[in-house]
Amino acid sequence: MRFVSVRDLRAKSAEILRELPDEGEVVVTSHGKPVALMIPVDEADLERTLDSWRRGRAMLAIVRTQLDSVARGTDKMTMEEIDALIAEVRRERSS
């Protein structure tokens, strides 16, 4: 995996794109922090690649939600408590 800054991407985009299939992944950084991920794709696999990426992103959201639930202690709530909380929020929104 290669890391390139936004500045380098602007200056050397043709070179970076040419080397992308060999690199596998390129992480684009701004001020040292990751902001984008470049991966090689071809026309035949574009839809499959996008679908896989979207599923992976959804799984990451689920894991983050689960970890947040554990951190807050809401992972121990019963269905009755969840239903009561939902009803309370709905009442507040309708008032």
Q: Would you say 29 and 3 are in contact if contact means Cβ atoms under 8 Å apart? A: yes
Work out the angle at residue 73's Cα, subtended by the Cα atoms of residues 68 and 77, and round it to the nearest 5 degrees. Answer: 110
Tell me the per-residue pLDDT of 69-84, one tens digit each, with 9 for 90 and over. Answer: 999 999 999 999 999 9
DSSP state letter for 30: E
Rg (CA), the chain: 21
Average pLDDT estimate for 56-68: 97
Which positions ≥6 away from 12 have C-beta within 8 Å?
4
Tell me the per-residue pLDDT of 8-56, one tens digit each, with 9 for 90 and over. Answer: 999 999 999 999 999 999 999 999 999 999 999 999 999 999 999 999 9
Q: Residue 79: its pLDDT value, please?
A: 95
Amino acid at 8: D
